[in-house]
Structure 1
Amino acid sequence: MKPDASERRVLERRLPDEQATMRLGEDLAMALRAGDVIALTGDLGAGKTTLSRALIRAMADDAGLEVPSPTFTLVQSYDTRVPIHHFDLYRLTSADELDELGLDEMLATGAALVEWPDRAGDSLPTDAISLEIEHLDDGRLARISGSGPALARINRSLAMRDFLAAAGWGEASRRHLTGDASARSYETVALAGEARVLMNSPRLVLGPPVRDGKPYAVIAHTAQSVAAFVAVDRALGDGGISVPRIFAQDLEQGFLLIEYLGSGSFLGTNGEPVVERYAAAGGLLAAIHGRPWQPRLEAAPGTVHEVPPFDRDALMIEVDLLVDWYVPYATGRPAGESLRAGFRAAWNAVFDRLDTAEKSLVLRDFHSPNIIWRGERQGHDRLGVIDFQDALIGPSAYDVASLAMDARVTVPREIEATTVKAYVDARKQAGAFDEAAFAEAYAIMAAQRNSKILGIFVRLNERDGKPAYLKHLPRISDYLRRALAHPALAELRDFYVRNGLIGDAG
């Protein structure tokens, strides 16, 4: 059954030439997700083949990929970022043959581009996107109709193309770069041999109230708009930190065109930590934490971002993720009220120790995925920093723990120690520095961060359907044991061991 026509929206794009048709194919490719179906129609010579080829090549990130017509095979499949299955149903004798071709199974993990969709009868999903290309004057008109999330994604992708056009980059090619655990995504865009990054950062959906009538993101001070990125980027750049230059911005829609800092991985060839790079990053953090930062930062004329404090409510709601998500996962039953009360009491006693800890600008996720290594450069310029929109004013030791106990890669104890030493040595060289106070704050923030991450990674699996994060749990548990070994955390460690939150090892 097709959706009610009144529920369907229609988007139109004029395509004056073949290049515009190819760009539309790229725009569609950037929006596709598993389960999406595009039903493509148009007269002979309307540009269906051109659009299909551009879409598939963009999905494959291969401009020279051979894309044969599936007229005789009925379907041609491509192992791309999201697997794409190109159907040509002209030779289909019965709609039932779609079941034999395995359309439903293909859509479980991939997307489909379907030519001659009328031959499928009612066999295509009701939320399939219809794309009709017709002749118009000397060019073409593309009419895209549908409803639901797929059309919303396509509409946003087209808006991103319009944003590029307003910035003078309308003819740029687009390729998926990366996504993260949030709704943000990034693309590389290329024009005349130059590459930049297109950042797609929609306004944060706050979700339901979880405590004191406030959503989690409000209590944890998660950035709600891209203005936070812009403001912190400008402050860091003015402070001599290598962050992306911003060439164009649309704060309302959440689009940025920013500098491409390179593709150099902070990790080694096989994804292993490199001691010299971690030590260099420790030195960079020392430079950041050794200077004052103002909490009021300008994102644009008339738009000021107030960097939030890493206050007790934020610290506590983050660490509570362990009892909310990890405890049920690890024990098979929800955390009881007694455990919750004891957990919060133990952590409140620990957080009291942070009242006198050094505070600075905390980038919050300063670890390998968010650092670009540029070994050909000198000093701190070797490190490009790309993720900081959730920055807070809080215990500076947090960022050191984020780096030295990298959530995405196993950092051996000796590299952790070298990283921390590089930081401490740089701080001492710059002036007076209380190493003992830092060591205690480092242990507290490492325990807080790794407790939080255990909960987040389970939540990503159970709530968001992202099981890949579970493989990191043993590493995070080991980091947590390392942090809790500090004498100042003896009572908290005993609570964790007593309640089975960590093993009595390390």
Structure 2
Amino acid sequence: MSDDLSARAAEIAAFLAAHGLADAARAPLTGDASARRYERLTRPDGRSLILVDTPVPAEDLVPFIAIGAVLDRVGLSVPVIHAADCALGLAVQDDFGNETFLRLLVEGAQAEPLYALATDALIALHRSWPEGEGERLGLPLYDADRFIEQTLLFADIYCPAALGRPLSAQDRSDFATAWRVVLEPVCAGPRSLLLRDYHVENLMRLPRPGVRAAGLIDFQGAGLGPTAYDLASLLEDARRDVPADLADAMTARYLAAFPALDPAEFRRALAVLAAARHTRIIAIFVRLALAQGRRAYLSHLPRVWRLLENHLAKPELAPVAAWFARRLPPGTRADFVVPETT
């Protein structure tokens, strides 16, 4: 074990001992695409908790605790933090178990009740998020500029890999301009907390009543932004096909809860924000493959491209579709094979 790893192991052991968990059995859990690491702690009395170990506490642990406190206050289920040392990037939180919505679906659970619960949790959030709370917490604003910055990952990562050369400065500028045209009207609409990675892998089924049956576990990167974004994230999952009739039913369910919303405008916002999200995700999956050798993510590219191209065919995405038609011809999209790296 390296000196750094030994030092970290000693810090964790001391942290656990200081909070009465020295005798807990420890088992690593599968993480996500971030640098965070998780362990399940099982105490002698059988109670289990989760240890969070992160090298970037200011970016994830600190906001996770702050945002979680507000989510709990408005009636949603988040892990209770039992101990934390933000300077060290360590925390102990509730163990919500293993029943992610994704796992339940894979094991044969009916999809409609789970997606309805997830949609209802979003409805509850958008009804109850306190005005001004995001500003008080210093959360980032997801406006047109920020979404454009995220879509530019596609121009800077995917396009050079697919075309064999970087985009010209003019092509990159035209890409940003096309996105600005479609994003600015969308970002002028209703805002609330934007969870960003709201999908079935980040939702846990809990034995609790109402919307508290949906456990939220990944919201440290949240910000303030258009209310349609998280519904797009849920219903256009990069890792799992969601039947169109189910997505339509959940969109209608959401709209029924907010009769003041213009349904056509909301659906246009869904399309634009979903397309921006898919564009960014394609770039991220390719970056993970090229920079880290994590090629398993590439198996999802055909799905994400299919979702993206479905939206590019809509009038509200016409400026972006025109850019794609000019700069990414057939052979550079879903059927492009990301090269192996050494």
Between structure 1 and structure 2, the one with the greater Rg is 1
Mapping 1:140-289, distance limit 5 Å: 150-191=2-43, 192-203=45-56, 224-267=59-102, 268-270=105-107, 274-289=111-126
Shift of 1:484: 2.6
Shift of 1:178: 2.2
Measure the CA separation in 1 of the matches of 2:297 and 2:108: 16
Measure the CA separation in 2 of the matches of 1:402 and 1:346: 22
Residue aligning to 2:339: none
Q: Deviations over 1:290-335 (max 9, x none)?
A: 223355579xxxxx74111113332112100111111123333322
Q: Taking structure 2 as the reference length, what is the TM-score of the superposition?
A: 0.89
Measure the CA separation in 2 of the matches of 1:319 and 1:273: 34
State which of 430, 448, 457 in structure 1 corresponds to 2:285. Answer: 457
Which deviates further from its counterpart, 435-444 or 182-191?
Answer: 435-444
Residues 99 and 205, structure 2, Cα contact 8 Å, conserved in 1: yes
Q: Taking structure 1 as the reference length, what is the TM-score of the superposition?
A: 0.61
Structure with the higher fraction of residues in helix conformation: 2
Residue aligning to 1:478: 306
* Secondary structure of the corresponding residue to residue 360 of structure 1: strand
Shift of 1:454: 0.4
Residues 280 and 422, structure 1, Cα contact 8 Å, conserved in 2: no
Letter in 1 for 2:69: R
State which of 363, 367, 372 in structure 1 corresponds to 2:204. Answer: 372
**Alpha-carbon distance change, 368 to 487 in structure 1, aligned in 2, over 3 angstroms:** same
Letter in 1 for 2:309: R
Residues 368 and 408, structure 1, Cα contact 8 Å, conserved in 2: no
**Alpha-carbon distance change, 229 to 347 in structure 1, aligned in 2, over 3 angstroms:** same
Residues 295 and 393, structure 1, Cα contact 8 Å, conserved in 2: no
Higher relative contact order (CA 8 A, sep 6+): 2
Q: Deviations over 1:389-416 (max 9, x none)?
A: 0110111111111111112212232222
Measure the CA separation in 1 of the matches of 2:155 and 2:20: 50
Shift of 1:271: 8.0
Letter in 1 for 2:122: L
Residue aligning to 1:321: 153
Residue aligning to 1:8: none
Shift of 1:360: 0.6
Structure 1: stretches of 5+ with no match in the other structure: 1-128, 130-149, 205-222, 299-303
State which of 130, 145, 164 in structure 2 corresponds to 1:293. Answer: 130
Residues 60 and 221, structure 2, Cα contact 8 Å, conserved in 1: no
* Secondary structure of the corresponding residue to residue 292 of structure 2: coil
**Alpha-carbon distance change, 409 to 341 in structure 1, aligned in 2, over 3 angstroms:** same
* Secondary structure of the corresponding residue to residue 92 of structure 2: strand
* Secondary structure of the corresponding residue to residue 248 of structure 1: strand
Q: Aligned pairs, how many?
A: 330
Q: Percent identity at matched positions?
A: 37
Q: Deviations over 1:208-255 (max 9, x none)?
A: xxxxxxxxxxxxxxx624110000010100110011111111111111
Residue aligning to 1:332: 164
Letter in 2 for 1:342: D
Measure the CA separation in 2 of the matches of 1:231 and 1:468: 33
Measure the CA separation in 1 of the matches of 2:17 and 2:134: 28
Residues 53 and 89, structure 2, Cα contact 8 Å, conserved in 1: yes
Structure with the higher fraction of residues in strand conformation: 1
Letter in 1 for 2:116: A
Residues 295 and 306, structure 1, Cα contact 8 Å, conserved in 2: no
Q: Deviations over 1:72-115 (max 9, x none)?
A: xxxxxxxxxxxxxxxxxxxxxxxxxxxxxxxxxxxxxxxxxxxx
Residues 202 and 217, structure 2, Cα contact 8 Å, conserved in 1: yes
Q: Deviations over 1:324-375 (max 9, x none)?
A: 111123333322223212111101111221242111100111112211123x
Q: Deviations over 1:4-63 (max 9, x none)?
A: xxxxxxxxxxxxxxxxxxxxxxxxxxxxxxxxxxxxxxxxxxxxxxxxxxxxxxxxxxxx
Shift of 1:172: 0.6
Mapping 1:377-396, distance limit 5 Å: 377-396=208-227
Measure the CA separation in 2 of the matches of 1:296 and 1:435: 27
Which deviates further from its counterpart, 249-258 or 488-497?
Answer: 488-497
Measure the CA separation in 2 of the matches of 1:240 and 1:157: 36
Measure the CA separation in 1 of the matches of 2:60 and 2:114: 31
Which deviates further from its counterpart, 358-367 or 284-293?
Answer: 284-293
Residue aligning to 1:75: none
Residues 286 and 424, structure 1, Cα contact 8 Å, conserved in 2: no
Measure the CA separation in 2 of the matches of 1:502 and 1:346: 20
Letter in 2 for 1:363: L
Mapping 1:437-456, distance limit 5 Å: 437-456=265-284
